[in-house]
Amino acid sequence: MSTLSNSSAVLAQTADEAALAALLVEALNLQDVAPAQISPTAPLFGFDRGSLGLDSIDALEIALAIQRQYGVELRSEDPGTRSAFASLRELTAHILTRRHAS
């Protein structure tokens, strides 16, 4: 997995985004990434500059960790799930929306 740049251009995380970033780092055992380094708008998947470089196996681990932590199921047949994995910000918003809908 790629590490993120230590750029000062990293956007500030909200409290909810910071909590989810910490969960991602823990669940995926990202030893070289501090939660605060994850830009809220950077892609989570792929290998573009600034991307976290996650893959489909990571997506499964993330979904399981989110279900355990937040009680939100991320189902592959849900059209919103794919777009939710676009970035930390999108994933956080998706989780919050699903939690409040329950």
- Tens digits of residue pLDDT in 49-90: 888 999 999 999 999 999 999 999 998 888 888 899 999 999
Q: Is the pLDDT of residue 3 over 60?
A: no
Q: What is the mean pLDDT of residues 11-17?
A: 93
pTM of the model: 0.85
CA distances from residue 98 to 41, 71, 75, 95 in whole angstroms, order as listed: 20, 9, 12, 5
Q: Give, in words, the CATH class of 15-101.
A: mainly alpha
**CA dihedral of 65, 25, 31, 14, whole degrees rounded to 10:** -170
The Cβ of residue 81 has, within 10 Å, a number of other Cβ atoms equal to: 17
Give the H/E segment covering residue 83: helix 79-84
Q: Which two tokens stand for residue 10?
A: 């990293």
